[in-house]
Structure 1
């Protein structure tokens, strides 16, 4: 079995994890009051397995012609190559049964999930991705339905996760440096995601002109400013970790200052670099790295948890669940 699909699966899972960071953080804080490492590990395991399964079963080996279906059950089990493939298919679906059981699914549900996923995969291979391709370039093997289901059944033998007492999500928590940095990471991933979406919409997958390349960053920058103005200095990343900015005497000035020193200023700088045809990859990555180091480090220095943009804008942050939200205690 080639390792190349595994590398592709790892890259895909990491990209999906970056895109889903802010929603995961927001859901965990509203469900559990904070982000649990176990939840992060579980989400990453699901992403890795889903990406790995897709890459291994749909990996497009260069086809030399149409592949014939194999309908004879256990026809080649005596052959060494077929036996290895038989064992590999069982091993590939064991994690599916484990994951279903881990998230409190029944053993019957785990076996059914393995059978359903296997049927979906084999039907896609048999029909050439539901007739999207001229013919089937992967071999449909009836044995795979059996081995995949057996693999998920073995995984279903794993114990389910023990129930945990419901967490107290109503009590406010202190604004720690780690919590602030997590909010900054959410803001950064949302900014990069918005830039990627803007690039896809504006360019349609083609090489962008210099004006469109700059717009791919200026559009997210304007969106970041609109969010800060609507939230009175509170970004989406801060809301994800249930932190909010206290009201200030000059809210417009505070929002603009925070935008210019934060993600909005970073996006604008990257857009200007694109307009000057200077962002060939390395300068842009260096600018993002410097931004992360400066703002992340500032949250751990100076005696409070504010980053550079929060200090320059004169903003203080507290838990959104604090009683008397209009006058939260500064942190």
Structure 2
């Protein structure tokens, strides 16, 4: 996301190689989470959660977290879902260099952020074989809420390289493959997110309403209609992906829900005709962390991984 915003905020730096260390800070209203990685081998060097003190503000906390990062560390800011809005729409027929100027006027009726305060970026959705034209995912956030944070980092010579919304990051935990994978992700207090990922790209995404407390129920409660509703929503999404978008069938369905009932939820799907179902493998990317830490930091980890992947792509582009 930050690469397109760099021209607006003027903080972007050219990338000739992947940095030795990368880090991500997950911005929440009530706390911040940090993951520091050694780029080689994706080794987790540090995780930390910072809660505000009596006189702390977000900027103070952010600078405190970043003050001990190794010199030259590239940083990704991960925005929690309450800090942005996502809109999907037909891609406008304008030149690439004019896209960011055109989008505010196209999404102004679809978001609550005033046009004059919009900071936005977009993600091209892969072309489908259906009759639909090109589509894009647009992320919109408040410029005033981020600009001072970015400037504070710049004053401390902290190398902010990328800003990413949560929903664009789970794909980093899915191996790049030709077969499509459906991922069901739930963050505490949020709606359930359904995504279909193929070849490392986000092909399809939607929010499933009514499941924001799925992590708080016992299995006996989940069986009283909620899981049946979820089965229905998953099947509808599969039908749309394969029928309307004319894509090959999804190979696997993976769940990432911080609930002790998750193994039973997966088994419920298997018992109801979904053969290739399982849990997202966090341990393979975060082997030195406890199961609780994996649940707490996996999305922050995905933000740091985004920097490594972007660095690799930059290296390939430069030959």
Shorter chain as denominator, the TM-score bin is under 0.3
Greater relative contact order structure (CA < 8 Å, 6+ sep) = 2
Bigger CA radius of gyration:
1
Per residue, is there more strand in 1 or in 2? 2
